[in-house]
A and B are shown apart, each in its own frame.
Chain A
Amino acid sequence: MEQKRAIDRVLIKRVLDGDSIAFETIISNTKGLVIQIIYKMVKNPEDRKDLAQEVYLKVYDKLESFKFNAKLSTWIATITYNTCLNYLKKKKIPILDIDKNEEKELWEKISVNTFCYSDNQTESYVFKKERSQILTLAIEKLSPLYKTLITLYHNEELSYAEITEITDLPKGTVKNYLYRARKKLKENLLLNYKKEEL
């Protein structure tokens, strides 16, 4: 962790001294995370391209104000998340569609038959078909915030603390949204399966 911070420090100093290669290194180190967030929150390909550039221009502009309280990648991810959030606000796209039944469903006790049946179905279906494609379709149906949280936690393997920092949501809320997102994702997978079966 300390070693990573030291590397970040050196890179930032070099960028501030006008070294473009150092900024290129920062971009290639953080590009994956930035793109993941943008792709999960924004659908339009042209807007994604513009936002990705906007993020790094903001990073370059604000680099001097970076206080090393967090990892550089987390700070860049926060800028990305906020940039996307502003974009969604401007376009009047809701970041989260809360289904009134969701909370109730989450607390419903599992039914033995349903779960045994549905789990086997999910499992076999996921293994049988082109898994990545199916999952992509199911993820696409989630709201932007759920998609982002799932990606940050499962793909990027960030901790709850880091996700909290990026999204500025309380830890409990992040956990709660993740529970709902996974459940919804599982339901979407089942729905795809049932549709294909018909």
Chain B
Amino acid sequence: MKMQHLYDKDIQKYTFDKSNCSSDNIEHINSCEVCKKVSESYLLLSRELKSQPEPELEFNLTELVLDRLAFSKKEPIYNYMLCLIIIMSLGAAFFTIYIFRDVFSNVFSTNITISNYFILSIAILISLFLGLDMYRSYYKKINMLKY
């Protein structure tokens, strides 16, 4: 058995992690009033810590979180609306092309001029630009949601 008083760390080990405490130290503490007192003071501290009240929230966390998540729950409806708008727009575009098919066929078959190519290439460029911009903003929003 050790005759000298133990280190603070060893006393804490005895108090909170007895299975890893050496038998010499256990024997010493069991027979030493001073070390036992230190161990008891740590036990007292531990008991006091356990009885500490939990912090109280000044806000309703569940409500706040669920309110913010309600946005993503509405997403499917929002997606259906978006699909509907896209389908309706495509329908309207095809309908217009169908109605004015003679005009379009004349423009692209008989009178192919540089100005036609110019108009067409500008239209493609604008569509491309808008498409890329939409894609970029979509990814930006998704990344924000992913933190």
Contact = CB atoms under 8 A, between A and B. Distances in A.
Interface string B73-84: 100000000000
A135 B49 contact: yes
A122 interface: yes
Contact of B57 (A35, A60, A186): A35
A198 interface: no
A24 B62 contact: yes
A109 B5 contact: yes
Assign chain B's interface to a size class: 35 or more
Interface stretch (B33-41, B94-102, B104-112, B115-123): B33-41
The secondary-structure label for the interface of chain B is helix
A132 interface: yes
Given A27-B65, A119-B38, A110 B54 contact: no
Interface string A148-185: 00100011010000000000000000010011001101
- Among all A-B residue pairs, the 4 with the closest Cβ atoms: A154-B49, A56-B65, A39-B55, A119-B41
Given A135-B49, A136-B52, A106 B8 contact: yes
Interface of A: 18, 20, 23-24, 27-28, 31-32, 35-36, 39, 45, 49, 52-54, 56-58, 60-61, 105-110, 112, 115-116, 119, 122-123, 126, 131-132, 135-136, 139, 150, 154-155, 157, 175, 178-179, 182-183, 185-186, 189
B45 interface: yes
The secondary-structure label for the interface of chain A is helix
B44 interface: yes
Contacts of B16: 178
A27 B66 CA distance: 10
Contacts of A57: 65, 68-69, 147
A109 B11 CA distance: 10
B17 interface: yes
A119 B37 contact: yes
A32 B64 CA distance: 16
A145 B31 CA distance: 35
Given A54-B147, A110-B35, 11 more contacts: A20-B66, A31-B61, A32-B54, A35-B57, A36-B54, A45-B58, A52-B57, A61-B147, A122-B41, A186-B41, A186-B42
